[in-house]
Structure 1
Amino acid sequence: MGIVSAIMALMSSRTSQGAVAWIISLLTFPYIALPAYWFFGRPRFYGYVSARGQRDTVLRRVLVRYRANVQPYVAASPNADIQAVEQLAMMPLTHGNQATLLIDGPATFESLFDGIERAEQYVLVQFLLSATIRLDNA
């Protein structure tokens, strides 16, 4: 059982360090390591991986459907780094985009409402939030 479990650990461990540790312990101390491996070390993420794969397949179908709509706005990208990002995103980069760092609430809302006013078809908003906690000794 220790050898079979060691082979399973070799084939399914998430890291090489974890695989080596499980193999050595399963072959050296099988009476202790075998129950520990079957309780803690077995892979339990197959369901998550397959569900994620199905969700990605749906996303790919949607992206293929809308790729033709994006084609007139595609920016030329001779840079290999940009081409790698495009392949990861499964969509080309488009021209005419911009990002602005907004540091306080009034500037954020002013920019947000200005963008909504200038929108022609739709508004896409993405927020990256950070919080600062200030404690006063009052």
Structure 2
Amino acid sequence: MEKKPVEWKRLLNVHDNDQSQVIESLLASENIPVLRKEQGTGNYLRIYMGSSLTGVDIYVPDSCYQQALELLTGDDEYLPSSASEAIDVYQPDFIKRKKTARMIIAITIIAPVIIGLIYIIVSNLLNLFHLL
């Protein structure tokens, strides 16, 4: 008999490895299997820089998703109080860091191009008027 493949569903994204381990151990205490994934180059960045801009996605089997949400949205004061907060509990900080990183990369790449274009335009205008 063939085993049916497990369907995994994304539960939430956490900022770092420590937060991931806390959530994983909480889920493991209720015998809920956990799969963790890092988006894009997250694994390489964690090895090279010690942290990742993408955070860690935590997945649970589709059959355990509701149980995991109920566990995370319990009455404990340190856990989120609603399902939507549980899914996006660490997203705002993550999104700010990701936008900042994108802005730095954009400025680093675009600024020299704009300066070069301005230099070319000005030097061509000066050559046109024989001022150079």
Query: TM-score over 0.5 for the alignment?
Result: no
Q: TM-score range by the shorter chain?
A: under 0.3
Higher strand share: 2
Higher helix share: 1
